[in-house]
Amino acid sequence: MGNRCRTARARYDRLVHAPPLTITCDCGAAESVPYGERWRCGACGKTWDTAQIPRAEYEALLHGVRRYRLLVLGPPLLLAGVLVPLTIFSGVQFAFLLFMLVMAHALLVVPMARRRATARARERMPSWNLRPE
Ligand SMILES: [Zn+2]
């Protein structure tokens, strides 16, 4: 590998979006780059291409992100889909119920899902070696 290979590392601080890849250049400069895009280092002029990362490996990474997003956004949307029509047609007590359930989800389920996703990400933090062009 030698010192001409550098590591692209996935970042997990923005789990809600497709995680950008952090490329560290030979010269030490680092940049977050979306998958599939090229980055030309401003300090030394080397070009790094994240498309060198196999798509299947990046997709595997996205799978974990999507599962987390589904767990965080799915239940509140589902509850709203059921309880908002009930509020309109049957009464305001269902709006209160919706509020309580969404709060419970946000306080109980979301922190757990976040902890689990972060732990899993740390365990299997993927990194790839890129070649400059
Ligand atoms: Zn550089």
Q: Are 18 and 61 in contact (CB under 8 A)?
A: no
How far, in Å, are 16, 39, 50, 80, 107 from residue 84 at the CA level?
A: 25, 46, 44, 5, 21
How far, in Å, are 16, 71, 110 from residue 103 at the CA level?
A: 19, 14, 10
Average pLDDT rounded to a whole number, residues 10-23:
63
Structural domains counted in the chain: 2
Question: How far is ligand 1, taken at its centre, from the CA of residue 52, in Å?
Answer: 18
| pLDDT at residue number 70 | 87
Indicate the pLDDT class of residue 124, thresholds 50, 70 and 90: low
Statement to judge: residues 43 and 62 lie in one domain: no
Q: Residue 28 belongs to what domain range?
A: 1-53
Question: How far is ligand 1, taken at its centre, from the CA of residue 110, in Å?
Answer: 39
Q: Are 26 and 7 in contact (CB under 8 A)?
A: no
Is 9 inside a domain boundary? yes
Statement to judge: residues 48 and 69 lie in one domain: no
Statement to judge: residues 68 and 119 lie in one domain: yes
Q: Using one digit for the tens of pLDDT, what is the confidence trace for 87-100?
A: 999 999 999 999 99
H or E segment to which residue 69 belongs: helix 55-90
Statement to judge: residues 43 and 67 lie in one domain: no
Q: Using one digit for the tens of pLDDT, what is the confidence trace for 46-78?
A: 999 999 999 888 888 888 778 888 889 999 999
Give the chain's mean pLDDT.
84
Question: How far is ligand 1, taken at its centre, from the CA of residue 123, in Å?
Answer: 29
